Amino acid sequence: MTKIWLIIRDWVEIITASLIIVFLVKTFLFTTYIVPSSSMEPFIKKGSRIIVNRLSKNFKRGELAAFNYPLNHRLRMVKRVIGLSNDKLELKDNTVIVGKEKFDYQKIDFLRIDPDNLEELNSITVPENSYYMLGDNINNSKDSRFWGFVNKSEIIGKVIMIYWPLRQIRVLR
């Protein structure tokens, strides 16, 4: 009888330790989300599952960020970082202009879209501790053009991997 209790105790300890580790990793290091819309297509399809690194909160232009939706903090969104703090941005003639540098939508990998309906945006400056986000599917994306800037405090982390569906699995740079 004592041997059975020792085996049960061992299993309870293993399961408890495993649950604590999973809780800590998911709470402080990584989390997962389902992409709810087609705003990031063709790069990330609607319904794809992603892994987000909670420790990565500083971004380079072009990286994917998961964040709390500015108009409803209970919703999570994924968009591409286009403007960093203090950047001057313009959307003009199907081009994003950051400072004096132009980004032609037809020439950058992550924005393979038809920008015919891209609305023009007069020159704006991204506030300190904020980002300007755009969806890759520019014509079908509600993004910073509609709800403004994303404060760094609303950032959950950097999208580092698509893990579902299996045929789309990949680590993101």
Which helix (H) or strand (E) segment holds residue 78: the answer is strand 76-83
Are 110 and 62 within 8 A, CB to CB? Answer: yes
Between CA 165 and CA 173 the distance in angstroms is 19
Report the candidate in 69, 68, 70, 66 with the shortest Cα–Cα distance to residue 78. Answer: 66
Helices (H) and strands (E) in the chain, counts: 2, 12
Q: What is the pLDDT of residues 52-80, one digit of tens each?
A: 999 988 898 889 999 999 898 889 999 99
Between CA 137 and CA 157 the distance in angstroms is 21
- Residue 107: per-residue pLDDT: 47
Domains in the chain, start-ordered, CATH in brackets?
32-171 (2.10.109.10)
Total-model pTM: 0.79
* Residues 101, 104, 107, 110, Cα dihedral to 10°: 90
> Within 13 Å, how many C-alpha atoms sit on residue 24's CB side?
6
| Residues labelled as active-site residues | 39, 79
Residue 152, Cβ density class (10 Å: 0-12 exposed, 13-18 middle, ≥19 buried) = middle
- Taken as a whole, the chain contains a residue count of 173
Least confident of 26-40, 65-79, 104-118, 126-140: 104-118
Q: For residues 115-143, give the mean pLDDT.
A: 80
C-alpha distances (whole Å) from 59 to each of 3, 8, 43, 79 are 54, 47, 18, 12
Q: For residues 68-94, give the mean pLDDT.
A: 87
Between strands 88-92 and 121-125, the pairing is antiparallel
> 21 pLDDT band (50/70/90 cuts)?
very high
